[in-house]
Structure 1
Amino acid sequence: MRRVREKLDGYYGIDMDSAGRSRGLAFMWKKEFDCSFVSASMHHMDFRVREGEKEWRVTGFYGWPDVSDRHLSWDLLRLLNGQSSLPWLCIRDFNEILYSTEMKGGSRAQWQMNNFQAAVDFCGLRDVAWEGYAFTYDNGQAGDNNRQRMIDRAMCSEAWLEMFPYAKNFHLDREWSDHASLKLIFYRREIGGKTRSRFRFEQVWVGEEGCEEAVCRGVEKGQGDLVSTIQACAKELQAWKKISIGKTNRALETKHRQLTRLNEGDRSDVAVQKRRKLIAEIAGLYKQEEQYWRQRSRALWLKDGDRNTKFFHSKAGERKRKNYIPLLIDDDGRECIGNEEVAKLVVDYFEGLFKSDEPTNFNEVLLGLEGRVTDRMNRLLRMDYREEEVVEALN
């Protein structure tokens, strides 16, 4: 994990190596975030986060895997609860379920769930609203030997939920791991439907078969002016990209839909074998896509690398970052969420910024200005025009 962290230049991070059955832990965050380390062990990592006026804590938690040691998990949870009064988010693998409905296959002793419930109640934690397939763990076995559990979760205090009322925890599809990844969204998505993505020409398309022909078709379809020609070229390139460049992406999307159905389906021998084969196919597609972009980046670097442009620093990196404003805060401290509220606040702000207050008393301002017109100059300017002056000016 340390090698992965070292390759990510835009991130800070802390990692703990694995020991025995205890898995290694890692916590990474973007460098622009105000995140402070508090404490860590083989079973937790605790941090303090500041986001503008908001301050809260987040704990990555890993419960003891052995049932005989599980009480240590709840002792640690209670200990962490008493160390800070900040709004609290506690997330990841608790290695236990709260209720019998959170398992599929096998059995669970009631006292195990009761102990977890008691620790959660003591700490005042509750589940963040989640979406996706309920069971985040699958042992990968077939038939009666299959065990599925919801042991990966995001839990928070009431104060944290008041701070982030629209937070949602998404259970992503399992791929190579026996655990599903969790994706926590803090803010509600914009209301008003999907926004149209902006077209961007990718340098890596240069030299691809069909790219030049698409541009030529766009030039022919243009109406003669620059704007219409660019628009026609963009339309042709988008159509060409969808057919020629997006083959791997479309294949991955299809495979992931199949994987979702298999993850949520039965665990017969046939289904398990089919899932293993599908995972191998997805891995092959990822490798194929990675190899393609690496080759394109290398080819372009060898050809044009001496230009030292921003593109070659990123080397065909991802460029589809969305400029998304989750919310704005008005002068009264109220959070404005969604397209309409955010747009109205922005318009009101700039109207107030550039609107005149219609001042009437200019004396104070004028007293601070140094005069350029002397009294003599002013008398000459205020004199009546003479007839010979008008004639001279007109001639």
Structure 2
Amino acid sequence: MFGIEVAPRGRSGGLMLLWEKSQVVQIRSYSDDYIDAEIQGEDGNGKWRFTDFYCNPEVTRRKASWERLVRLSQDSSLPWMCAGDFNEVLFQHEKTGCARPGWQIRDFRNALQQSNFSDIGYEGQTFTWWNRREHPSTVRARLDRACANVRWQMQFPNSRVEHLPLIHSDHCPLLIRFLPNPYVKPEQQKRRFRFEAMWLRSPRCEEVIRSGWGEVQARDPNHTVWEKVRNCRVALLQWEKVDFGNMKRRIKQTEDRIALKQQGLFDDETNREVRILKRQLEEYKSNENMMWQQRSKTEWLCERDRNTKFFHATASSRKKQNEIRRIKDVNGNWCKDKHEIQMFFWDIFATSSPVVVRRAGYLKTC
């Protein structure tokens, strides 16, 4: 077992990151309130980044923590997940007792937005911290969470965060389960050249082709056409990386901003900002939609079913919500074993006269 520890400050703080000997982990940097690491993925998945974060519990010093988080986001473009004790909530309903000052919540949201983060959700109880006082002085809040950028969520679409019971600490442990994307290939095949229809939308396309075609001055006429075509291919691919590569990054950034804003309170100003971002996103996505149409043998792609990362991220989220991950049996015990859950429903449909209404009462929202 390997690891790194950051000593606590008095009775608060303190960080520790541990990993198995078989894992390849590189510590990028650390301080009193974070440990930043780069992890080599397994089963053909590339590197990704994990940050163990602790936000300063003193309100007057919290701004410095948010600024540090934003600076960390600028250090790398890897798929990134950040988890820990943020000592803040994103919404008023994530806290019981007295209301949280609005400006504190806004500062937290702004920090996540600038870092291109979105909350990846949770299973189990809502609150991760309590003040250990009896009713009516009890205060509970969701101060601990895991956030990730879109690239990490696309690489690990089956990720789950579980809030474990509060036992020894006033904070509950977070158990993060994730599986890599089963569709990621261990080795990328050599790219097949396609002349993209979306290139024709740009006035520079003809200029790039003319330039590539005119560079060849071969003496052998048998090689002239072949070399001209090859030069055009190279010129088009280089041009695509510059112009359309930037477009893809703008799509990602805009999607992150929309997703984060839609998690917040929808006032008039937020609605206006979301509408502007959506118009920008529609403009950016038009070329990508044309690319997918070109690859489809049938015209299945339509305006309401666009094949983009944002659509897939939303669909993956809905898929996770539609799963039955645990049931309560007739004895009142929770069961998480997949085989036993399957047998539960098998018994219902295999019985000649199943008491579906009575047994369905054991299904709970997980």
Q: What TM-score results when the alignment is normalised by the length of structure 2? A: 0.49
- Say which structure, 1 or 2, has more relative contact order (CA 8 Å, 6+ apart): 2
